[in-house]
Amino acid sequence: MPALFVLVYDAARALWQKHMGVDVLAILSILVALQMGEHATAAVIAAMAASGRLLESYAAGRAVREMEALLQNVPRLAHRLNGEQIQTVPANDIRPGDTLLVKQGEMVPVDGPLASPAASLDESSLTGEALPILQTSGDLLRSGALNAGDSFRMIAAKRAADSTFSAIVMLVQQAAAAKSPATRMADRYAAWFIPLTVLLAGAAWLISGDPIRALAVLVVATPCPLLLAVPVAQVSGISRCAGRGVLVKGGAALEGLAQADTLFFDKTGTLTGGQAKLIGIRGHGQHEAGELLRLVAALDQMSCHVLATAILRAAHERGVTELPLPEGVEETAGAGICGRVDGRRVAAGTPAFILARAASEPWLDAEIKRLAVEGATGVFVAIDGKLEGLLELSDPLRLETPRALRLLRRAGVRRIAMLTGDKREVAESIGSGIGVDEVHAELSPAGKLARIAEAAQSHCTMMIGDGVNDAPALASAQLGVAMGARGAAAAAESAGVVLLIDKLDRLAEAKMIAVATMRIARQSVALGMALSLLAMLVAAAGYLPPLDGALLQEAIDVAAILNALNALRIRPLLSNRTRLAADKVQALREEHQKLEPLLAQLSDLARALPTMMPDRQVQALQALNGVLRNELIPHEQEDEQALYPAVSSLLGGDDPLAALSRSHQEIFRGIHRLSRLFDPLQSPIPEPVIQDIQRTLYGLEAVLRLHFAQENELFSSLSP
């Protein structure tokens, strides 16, 4: 009787919501069996329903355990410094401005800047990055990261409730509490399955005159494959997505993810990383690129501007670590900064800020126009009243963006469109480079809504965003996807899917999992219903008694549900099965990071070579030749001889890295050509030789940038 009450309650709730609940047949079977005195049959049907619900609970529990693993690590205590005294207080008592001590092995309790010189953090719970990340003084630390090194001090910038980890936990709780409308698919099948069952049972009774045959038909038609196979498959798919760092808020979101064929996305913070990065230094005066960076970075030690942080980070990466302390620093918010460095008056900032302190130069207007076309930001530099050059910064594409878009197309996305408020020239240059179908630029939030609403009339739309201004678009799309790890809370709350790891290719994996999950759900339902229909015909013919039919239906249910549980084993990509050792991936990243300044040096030297003093030309070229031969060639040879064979064995095939090996040949050829040009160098260098060297430097830089990008994309896809 308890099982009957539960079924009646579920059926009544479905009818109240104007759905034909598939529990109706189970209820009808139990009632008819009790009426005919077939108590054993009624008990088997009730036991069948209960066991099926236990299987569903098992699958749901497994998914919830994976999704709520973060909840066990919520920081509850923190060490607040009061002078030199350490007070252990609840994390919720922390207020912005408090100085905190984070001991080894403890979790960062709130967001805030690092006050100690350095810290080593394990951010695997936030980003999926398996190896510790080194943070330096002033870097923003995010709650939820684990201290993998010595104790350090930090300044609280937010309360615990407003910090990164708390926002992620809230999203997990919302997803765990969200009711999955999994029965929607079951109800669609039930719309014809229930009437067919009743008609077949009635016909068997009418033709044979034996009501037991009708009962037998009802018993074997009890639709546990419909009741349980769909939700079990969906919850299993949600569990797999959670394991890949993608939070899917229920079965409706999973089904929408599987069906989505039109993708809209914001640019900043979604396709790009959302953080400025130094991409070039263009000197137009007597000072070389390295000296310009050193002087501006020295000034920026006194600034909290985001561009100053990016410039300081670039100086550190390029080995410019010993920076003099500037004097007489004055900063104009949003415009620039000036002061004395090594006795020279240095100013860095916008053109208007610089022109108030230095005379204009002929190249200034051309550089401003070029920056506008390329969508980059320029920090112009003046030294002792003379405009010397600029530092070029940009928000680069995420490493995984091109691969992610290719994988999304493979997963069923037919149309990809960029929606952005940026200028059209900038948006189109990025869109054409990554192969999107449409670019809609200079849009307001209302304009984004209009584009999505128009597409939703004939397509299943999916929108990806990260900012507060994206929240309305995320809510209006049939499926919203938020970059949750770094994005705004409003965007995450408006979305049906949240990427807890800020890697766009995880969305492609989640879509592949969703497609496979819905396919498994349909297969499970088809399997169960086909076997049930066959058993119904046998029962209608009088060859299957009700009790035997109930036992047979139990076996059919188990088969359908076990098939649905296959969704727990979905692994959509080769990279999920083939992994490169984490230390090799990390070593490659570090080597590329060390060589990154070399790429900028190639173009900077090519550009500055004609204006250099003759002796300085020879010195700069000889120094570059030494770097190429002592650092770049050994790196590429090591990749070719050790790393590539290891990766090739993982990927399979005859020669999967042929294209990358071909790039090595072009790199070696370019370096050899430069060496031949360097050998007979004499001062002054003839103009034709300078032009030949410039062409070779630009060509080598282009090949190296493409080669590094290909390696980073491939090896990142194989990283744990």
Q: Is the pLDDT higher at 242 or at 225?
A: 242
Give me the phi and psi of 399, to 5 degrees please: -55, -40
Q: Are 602 and 701 in contact (CB under 8 A)?
A: yes
Q: What is the DSSP letter of 107?
A: B
pLDDT of residue 600: 76
Q: Is the pLDDT higher at 637 or at 424?
A: 637
Reduce the DSSP state of residue 334 to 3 states and report it.
coil
Q: Are 197 and 221 in contact (CB under 8 A)?
A: yes
Catalytic residue among 266, 395, 422, 604: 266
Q: Is the pLDDT higher at 14 or at 365?
A: 365
- pLDDT level of residue 101 (50, 70, 90 thresholds): very high
Structure tokens at 171: 């999203």
Supply the mean pLDDT for the chain: 78
- pLDDT level of residue 155 (50, 70, 90 thresholds): very high
State the Cα–Cα distance between residues 672 and 674, nearest whole angstrom: 5
Structure tokens at 182: 């999994």
Q: Is the pLDDT higher at 36 or at 143?
A: 143
Burial of 511-543, coded b for 16+ CB within 10 Å and e otherwise, reads bbbbbbbbebbebbbebbbebbbebbebbbeee
CATH number given to 77-167: 2.70.150.10
Q: Is the pLDDT higher at 336 or at 643?
A: 336
Give me the phi and psi of 179, to 5 degrees please: -80, 125
88: closest CA among 105, 73, 109?
109
Q: Is the pLDDT higher at 662 or at 586?
A: 662
Please indicate whether residue 93 is annotated as part of the active site.
no
Q: Is the pLDDT higher at 575 or at 210?
A: 210
pLDDT of residue 181: 44
State the Cα–Cα distance between residues 221 and 387, nearest whole angstrom: 84
pLDDT of residue 63: 46
Centroid of chain to Cα 176: 21
State the Cα–Cα distance between residues 609 and 698, nearest whole angstrom: 12
Reduce the DSSP state of residue 377 to 3 states and report it.
strand
146-147 vs 112-113, strand pairing mode: unpaired
Strand partners, 134: 120
Reduce the DSSP state of residue 157 to 3 states and report it.
coil
* Res. 602: pLDDT tops 50: yes
State the Cα–Cα distance between residues 252 and 229, nearest whole angstrom: 15
Mean pLDDT within 176-180: 45
Place of tokens 């018993």: 219
List the single range of 101-115, 214-228, 531-545 with lowest mean pLDDT.
214-228
* Res. 139: pLDDT tops 80: yes
Confirm whether pTM is higher than 0.75. Answer: no
State the Cα–Cα distance between residues 185 and 477, nearest whole angstrom: 21
Centroid of chain to Cα 429: 22
Contacts of 628 (CB under 8 A, 6+ apart): 598, 671, 674
- pLDDT level of residue 515 (50, 70, 90 thresholds): very high
Cis peptide before 684 (omega within 30 of 0): yes
* Res. 358: pLDDT tops 60: yes
State the Cα–Cα distance between residues 483 and 503, nearest whole angstrom: 8
Q: Is the pLDDT higher at 476 or at 145?
A: 145
- SS3 string of 534-603? HHHHHHHCCCCCHHHHHHHHHHHHHHHHHHHHHHHHCCCCHHHHCCCCHHHHHHHHHHHHHHHHHHHHHH
pLDDT of residue 681: 65
Centroid of chain to Cα 393: 23
State the Cα–Cα distance between residues 99 and 80, nearest whole angstrom: 6
* Res. 577: pLDDT tops 90: no
pLDDT of residue 85: 86
Query: pLDDT digits over 328-352, tens only?
Result: 999 887 688 999 999 999 999 989 8
State the Cα–Cα distance between residues 505 and 244, nearest whole angstrom: 10
Q: Is the pLDDT higher at 540 or at 276?
A: 540
The residue ranges of DSSP E strands in 245-396, in sequence order, are 246-248, 262-265, 277-283, 327-332, 336-341, 344-349, 377-383, 386-394
* Res. 182: pLDDT tops 60: no
Biggest alpha carbon distance in the chain? 113
Q: Are 395 and 274 in contact (CB under 8 A)?
A: yes
Q: Is the pLDDT higher at 702 or at 5?
A: 702
Alpha helices (runs of H) in 36-145, residue ranges in sequence order: 39-67, 124-127
The H or E element that residue 113 is part of is strand 112-113
Mean pLDDT within 610-630: 83
Query: pLDDT digits over 163-174, tens only?
Result: 777 766 665 555
Structure tokens at 258: 């599987």
- pLDDT level of residue 578 (50, 70, 90 thresholds): low
Mean pLDDT within 294-320: 85
State the Cα–Cα distance between residues 149 and 155, nearest whole angstrom: 18
State the Cα–Cα distance between residues 420 and 441, nearest whole angstrom: 5
State whether the Cα torsion 644-646-648-651 is positive or negative: negative
pLDDT of residue 341: 92
59: closest CA among 236, 283, 272?
236
Domain ranges of the chain: 1-68+176-237+514-569, 77-167, 277-394, 582-718
End-to-end CA distance of the chain: 51
How far CA 73 is from CA of 70, 165, 439, in Å, comes to 5, 9, 42
Mean pLDDT within 579-606: 77
In the chain, % of residues over pLDDT 90: 9
In the chain, % of residues over pLDDT 70: 80
Residue-level length of the chain: 720
State the Cα–Cα distance between residues 621 and 677, nearest whole angstrom: 10
Contacts 24+ apart (CB under 8 A), 530-537: 531/556, 531/559, 532/220, 532/221, 532/223, 532/225, 532/556, 535/220, 536/197, 536/200, 536/217, 536/220, 536/221, 537/200
By the 10 Å C-beta count (0-12 exposed, 13-18 middle, 19+ buried), 230 is classed as buried
State the Cα–Cα distance between residues 228 and 552, nearest whole angstrom: 17
State the Cα–Cα distance between residues 90 and 145, nearest whole angstrom: 18
- pLDDT level of residue 128 (50, 70, 90 thresholds): very low
Among 3.40.1110.10, 3.20.10.10, 2.60.40.1840, 3.40.50.300, name the CATH number for the domain at 277-394: 3.40.1110.10
